[in-house]
Chain A
Amino acid sequence: NAGVTQTPKFQVLKTGQSMTLQCAQDMNHEYMSWYRQDPGMGLRLIHYSVGAGITDQGEVPNGYNVSRSTTEDFPLRLLSAAPSQTSVYFCASSYSGTLEPLHFGNGTRLTVT
């Protein structure tokens, strides 16, 4: 029972490069979301999805893109990486939304130089 799986665990990018952070869940959860965690700032919501084909913006969406073609997968794309995007990124899911407990992946630590 894998739960929420994030890959890669670590990534270093140069400014301007693009990449995709992968997130997959095997719990048949409809709701999935991406957060970034920065020291002293808690978790901030980037994008979320309430089901396949449906996405919406969170608190800090600029510079990130998402899509949800399947229930299982919710990739996060950085179109042109900037040093301000250096952070730890967490993917989370729940059965139907944020009125239920979220299940978190173990995070991706991204450094942009």
Chain B
Amino acid sequence: AQSVTQPDIHITVSEGASLELRCNYSYGATPYLFWYVQSPGQGLQLLLKYFSGDTLVQGIKGFEAEFKRSQSSFNLRKPSVHWSDAAEYFCAVGARANAGKSTFGDGTTLTVKP
């Protein structure tokens, strides 16, 4: 079975600073990886996804993520954070062997200081 770990429960960064949110996954074969963002009172919105190919993927709102198979990681990055990026971020994994079930991490809450 697949699993996802987001080691950081809460991260605070200053506006304009760079951001990296960590995600580690466990799955025997090539995973399908996703990052979602949730604003307060809203559902989750897809930021980006990785299925295969180039290990650096670009998403919406200036986010990117890098798939590193050797480290079982899929960390989310943004070079310069905006106050509107304050939200909760979820990493998720899907797998061919279990295509009906996505597994989500516990989420990382991002606070942006002015």
Contact = CB atoms under 8 A, between A and B. Distances in A.
Interface of A: 4, 31, 33, 35, 40-45, 48, 50, 56, 58-59, 90, 92, 97-102, 104-107
Interface in B12-27: none
Given A40-B9, A42-B90, A99-B32, A105 B100 contact: no
B44 A98 contact: no
B43 A104 contact: yes
A42 B105 contact: yes
B45 interface: yes
B15 to A, nearest CB: 26
Considering the complex of A and B, which 4 residue pairs feature the smallest CB-CB distances, nearest first?
A104-B43, A98-B94, A98-B102, A42-B106
A41 B106 CA distance: 5
A41 B34 CA distance: 18
Contacts of A107: 41-43
Contacts of B92: 102
Among B9, B36, B49, B102, which residue has the most Cβ atoms of chain A within 10 A?
B102
Given A42-B90, A99-B94, A104 B45 contact: yes
B43 A105 contact: yes
Among B32, B44, B96, which residue has the most Cβ atoms of chain A within 10 A?
B44
Contact of A58 (B46, B94, B101, B107): B101
Nearest to A6: B43
Contacts of A35: 104
A99 B96 contact: yes
Contacts of A99: 32, 51, 94-96, 99
Given A98-B94, A99-B94, A42 B43 contact: no
Given A98-B98, A101-B46, 5 more contacts: A4-B43, A97-B100, A99-B95, A102-B44, A102-B102
Given A45-B101, A50-B100, A58-B101, A101 B34 contact: yes
Nearest to B47: A101
Contact of B100 (A92, A98, A100, A106): A98
Interface in B38-67: 41-46, 49, 51
